[in-house]
Amino acid sequence: MTIEEKIKQLRKELDLHNYKYYVMDSPEISDFDFDMKLKELQELEEKNPEFSDPSSPTQRVGGAITKNFETVSHDFPMQSLSNSYSKEELEEWEARVKKMVDGKLEYVCELKYDGASISLTYENGKLTRAVTRGDGVQGDDVTNNIRTIRTIPLNLIGDFPDKFGIRGEIVLPFEGFLKMNEERVEIGEEPFSNPRNTASGSLKMQDSAEVAKRPLDCLLYGLVGNQLALKSHYDGLQKAKEWGFKVPNEAKLVHSIDEVLEFINYWDIHRHNLPYETDGVVVKVNNLHQQDELGSTAKSPRWAIAYKFKAERETSILRKITYQVGRTGAITPVANLDPVQLAGTIVKRASLHNADQIQKLDIREGDTVFVEKGGEIIPKIIGVDFTQRDPNSQETVYITECPECGTELVRAEGEAHHYCPNYNGCLPQIVGRIQHYISRKAMDIEGLGGETVTLLVNAGLIHNYADLYTLKKEDVLPLERMAEKSADNLILGIEKSKEIPFERVLFALGIRYVGETVAKKLAKHYKSIQNLMQASIEDLINVDEIGQRIAQSVTEYFDSEENINTIDRLKEFGLQLEISAEKLANQTELLQGNTFVISGVFSKVSRTDLKKLIEDNGGKVSSSISAKTNYLVAGENMGPSKLAKAEKLGTKILSEDAFLGMLN
């Protein structure tokens, strides 16, 4: 088997396994085996770039940067749907349809998913273009970002047409949305407001590698094109499934408006069990010939209509506004409500977000308020029923002191939240920071959970995360639900955390805005906590991808004498506060400040090894040549366009030997 044949075989296998896993939910191989095959394909492609293909499964990770999204015209307009809200309006629509077409009518009912509309184009079975809805006539080309979504096939299977389009909705499942927000809150960022806006915003991110990290999904609902050899819309959905698309199984073929209403009534109740946001049902005439006859108005197709579910909104009495303190000191006002059932759950509390939101809506204790579930998940107050307001009600005055420690609150210019500055003396901040420190992505201390941290703090056994390393078995045994075995595991877990590498320790410290990725960058650049502590704001801003906000937060953290004392204690206890000698032995600053692009086939080291050599020696690797590129490392069979661009921009071109010579 030739290398080209092997590459094609691996691509075909991986496409099939990807389809089985993400679309059919019936994997046939383990994640490990899939990763091994993907790794093998990556290595073959890197060594043989002449066989590169944008539709390869290896391209799912993204990496392409799009500064400006090209506006392109849709081959077929993406029209909006007319809305209906009652049985009568649906019956009126059907009467209009019957006047315009002959023959028996069938309908396809589909759930109306609340996401970002997308139009995909396939040629010869390959995804060639993905365009947002835009104004319906033209939209933005977001192909690079769409390629990262694993439920969108890059290569089709079966008897597909030579060229066609397919429409769908990019959605963010509730589970993924909640996980993303947990991670944002963990690093002191504002959570996203709802899945729909987050999905839509993801499509316009400039770095496709960042899009790849988001758990986006794509649900397809309609084929478009000429000469598709189909008689009905429902047949098209079944064909799309055969070709590898994720078409929702909830779509149903029905034969009357009564059956349409049965579908609507069923899903109005059961939609809350779905993993995605839905806001209605789309009803379509099934016969494609009848669709053509019906045609469209200037805005909407006559052969389809949307039935919108009644808004999940209820009223309740706001009894009291209380205030919560997060681990970063951010104050969140909370509305405590009379219990009300909303979207299948009992709601007693709703976030009021910040002082501006309270002022904007003029929310007061005792008000009758309208409550909705934002994104079907997060309860929020959307307004006040002023007709029910007590004429003696008092305007809400936002607190000026921390509800936990009494410290005067601060609000920096441009910040939405008020903050408690009592960093080392405010109990919820102390508990929250230690809970973050022990979390799975940080120190991952086995045997120690959030509730136990609270017990330890309340018992006076610990006051910061350094105190964890002073605990003894006899200290923790008296704690509630703490058995002999649990105490042993806790102490062992704390001891084992001393082996956690520097970048994770840095993340665990809980410095505001320093998440996992930023912690890795800072650890790699500064090599030790000592070097980082001495860095100025100007120094930090010069580190790749570190901005003013992060730099200021880092310096403020190390300006605190108490934080310095905590760091000193962690050193004494033997934690990893610098990059290990083994890692350092392979790292230099020889290439510091230089950006490299690698292109072609290399004989002495692989592309992967070249990239590692650059990064280990302080350089940065980019996928495309720009004015910021310092060197192009050129191998055999390098793409002529990259060479031409490098020459045009005056980028220095290095052979493999010349690059290795730079490193001696």
Q: Which CATH number fits domain 313-388: 3.20.20.70, 2.40.50.140, 3.40.50.2020, 2.40.37.10?
A: 2.40.50.140
348 catalytically annotated:
no
- Residue 518 burial (10 A CB sphere; 0-12, 13-18, 19+): buried
CB 87 within 8 A of CB 281: no
Domain boundaries 502-585, CATH class: mainly alpha
State whether CATH 1.20.120.530 applies to domain 3-61: no
CB 619 within 8 A of CB 662: no
Angle, alpha carbons 355-356-360 (nearest 5°) = 120
Choosing from 20, 112, 496, 520, the catalytic residue is: 112
Check residue 555 and give its pLDDT.
96
State whether CATH 3.40.50.10190 applies to domain 595-662: yes
At 544, phi and psi to the nearest 5? -50, 125
Domain boundaries 427-499, CATH class: mainly alpha
Residues 6+ apart with CB under 8 A from 85: 307, 308, 310
pTM of the model: 0.56
Residue 408's DSSP bridge partners are 401
- Residue 136 burial (10 A CB sphere; 0-12, 13-18, 19+): middle
Check residue 389 and give its pLDDT.
93
Integer distance in angstroms from the first to the last C-alpha of the chain?
38
Mean pLDDT, contiguous 10-residue spans, the chain (664 residues):
86 81 72 79 84 80 74 88 89 91 90 93 95 87 93 92 95 91 80 84 89 93 89 95 94 95 94 88 93 80 90 88 92 93 79 90 94 68 92 94 96 87 91 92 86 92 95 91 88 94 94 88 91 94 86 94 95 92 73 84 78 84 82 78 83 91 83
Give dist(CA 438, CA 469) in Å, integer.
12
Check residue 210 and give its pLDDT.
87
Check residue 70 and give its pLDDT.
87
Check residue 308 and give its pLDDT.
86
Buried residues in 393-420 as b, exposed as e (16+ CB within 10 A)? eeebebeeebebeebebeeeeeeebbbb
Same fold, 502-585 and 595-662: no
List the beta strands (DSSP E) in 388-524. none
Give dist(CA 254, CA 392) in Å, integer.
56
Domain ranges of the chain: 3-61, 71-308, 313-388, 427-499, 502-585, 595-662
State whether CATH 3.40.462.10 applies to domain 71-308: no
Check residue 23 and give its pLDDT.
67
Strands of 116-123's sheet in order across:
126-132, 116-123, 163-171, 217-224
